[in-house]
């Protein structure tokens, strides 16, 4: 799926800017990518993303990652 107004990196930068300007709590942003997440990790982190995962995320992997970023 391609985003119409920006890619995920651009949207993350925009989200972080709005949060900062509005004094809002940081929203967790997790990249889901088909590329090599380990290779691209510095790019994701530098834009303000909190974490990343490969596409084809299995239902067993999803619940393991959520508690790290959501207060349950």
Round to whole Å and give the CA distance between 31 and 57: 11
* pLDDT one-digit tens code per residue, 27-49: 888 888 887 767 888 888 899 99
Q: Look at residue 7 in the predicted model and tell me its pLDDT.
A: 84
Residue percentage of the chain with pLDDT more than 70: 69
Structure tokens at 58: 């299995």
Domain ranges of the chain: 8-68
pTM of the model: 0.71
Structure tokens at 34: 């088909």
């Amino acid at each position: 799926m391609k985003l119409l107004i920006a890619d995920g990196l651009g949207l993350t930068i925009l989200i972080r800017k709005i949060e900062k300007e509005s004094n809002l709590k940081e929203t967790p942003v997790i990249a889901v990518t088909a590329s090599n997440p380990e290779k691209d990790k510095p790019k994701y982190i530098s834009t303000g993303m909190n974490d990343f995962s490969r596409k084809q995320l299995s239902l067993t992997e999803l619940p393991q990652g959520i508690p790290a970023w959501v207060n349950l």
